[in-house]
Amino acid sequence: MNALNLPLVKGLHTILTPTPFPVGPANVYLYESDELYLIDTGTNTPESWEAFLQGMKALGRAPEDISHIILTHHHLDHVGLSRKIKKLSGAIIHAHPLVADQFALFFNEKFTRHNLAGVLYELGLPAPLIESLCEERHDFREYLDEFTVDEVLRDGEMVGPFRAFFRPGHSLTDTVLVHEEEQWAFTGDHLIHNITSNPLLRRQDAEGRREKSLIQYRDSLLKTRAMPLNCCFAGHNKAFENHQKVIDRNLGHLERRNEKILSLFNGRSATPFEITGLLFPHLSDSYLYYCLSAATGHLELLEEQGIVAHEKQSGVLRYFAR
C-alpha cells in the first residue's frame, strides 16, 4: 500500500482515497507505532469510504484497530470520514483548536451564504455569479458528516511520536506533524510535491475584515523551510525529500505570478474579479472560487510589498499599480 518513491518509513502506509474536487485523490496515512495512528480521513463519499476499508483490509487491519485520528486541517477531503471511523474505532480525534469551529460553520447556512456573498461583492463579482457561487459552495454540504474533536492540538504540542506545528495559509488550520525522533513530517496541504498550494479566501470577521491567506502562506513556507526534515508525506501527490527545494520552487512560482499580474494592469485599475479573468482567460465556473482566491491573494501580497495599492468604489475593491 505504500506507493512512495522513497525508502519506506517503518510502520507507515498510504491509502489513496478519491475526492470530487479538482485536486484529485487525497492521501490517508496509517502509522503503526506504540498505537495505531490515522492521519486524515478522506472525503465523506461512498467511494472514499470503500477505498479506506479496502486499504485497511489490504494491510491486515480494521478500523477498530485505530487508537488516534490526527487531522492536518479542516477541509472536507481530509476530515470527511472522521465520524464513521470514530464510531467504529472509538479513536481519539486530535485537531487544531479552530477545526471544530470551522466545521460547525458549514452547518450555519444563513451565516456562510451571507458572509461569502459579502466577500464576493467586495471582490467585484456580478450578482448572478455571486448567487451561483454561493449555491455551489453550499452544495458541498453533502460531504459533511459532523464530528467532535476530542483533544485540541496546540502549536508545539505532542501527540504520540508527533509534534504539531501550525502553518496557516492554504487554510487557517494547517498543521504539520513532525515525527520527533526520525524528523519526517506529514505536511497535509501546506506543502505538496509539484503543487503550489492555493491559499483559499477567508471569511470576513465581525468587523468586515478578512485575513490575507497568501501572505500567511508565504510566511508559513519560510518557517517550514528552516525545519530539519528528512522527507515529507503530503495530503496529495507523492512523498518527497529536500523540502527546501520544493519550497523554493513554490516561492519562485509566487514571484512569477506576481510579475504576470503586474503586467495585466496596463495603466488601469481592476477589481480582483477582473484580474482573475485576465490571469485565467479560459476559466470554467467550477474553478472560479479557486482562481479568485489565487488572484486576490497575489494582489494582497503585492500590496504588502508596496507594489500595488487599492481603493474602494461603492464597496468594491479596485487595485492599481503604484
Per-residue pLDDT tens for 245-279?
Answer: 999 999 999 999 999 999 999 899 999 999 999 99
Q: What pTM was computed for the model?
A: 0.94
CB count in 10 Å sphere of residue 11: 12
Does 4 have pLDDT greater than 50? no
All three cell numbers of 134: 454561493
pLDDT at 158 over 60: yes
Q: Quote the pLDDT of residue 285.
A: 82
User: Can you list the domains of the chain with their CATH numbers?
Assistant: 1-107+144-264 (3.60.15.10)
Decide if 105 contacts 111 (C-beta within 8 A).
yes
* 305 contacts 255 by C-beta, under 8 angstroms: no
The model's confidence at residue 110, banded by pLDDT at 50, 70 and 90, is confident
Cell readout for 271 is 477589481
In 3D space, the residue among 205, 215, 208, 214 whose CA is nearest the CA of residue 317 turns out to be: 208
* C-alpha distances in Å from residue 51, one per residue of 25, 48, 132, 151, 233: 11, 5, 32, 27, 19
Residue among 121, 123, 117, 43 nearest 83 (CA): 43
Strand pairing category for 68-70 and 316-321: unpaired
Residue 306 clears pLDDT 80, i.e. is over it: yes
Nearest to 214 by CA among 252, 168, 148: 168
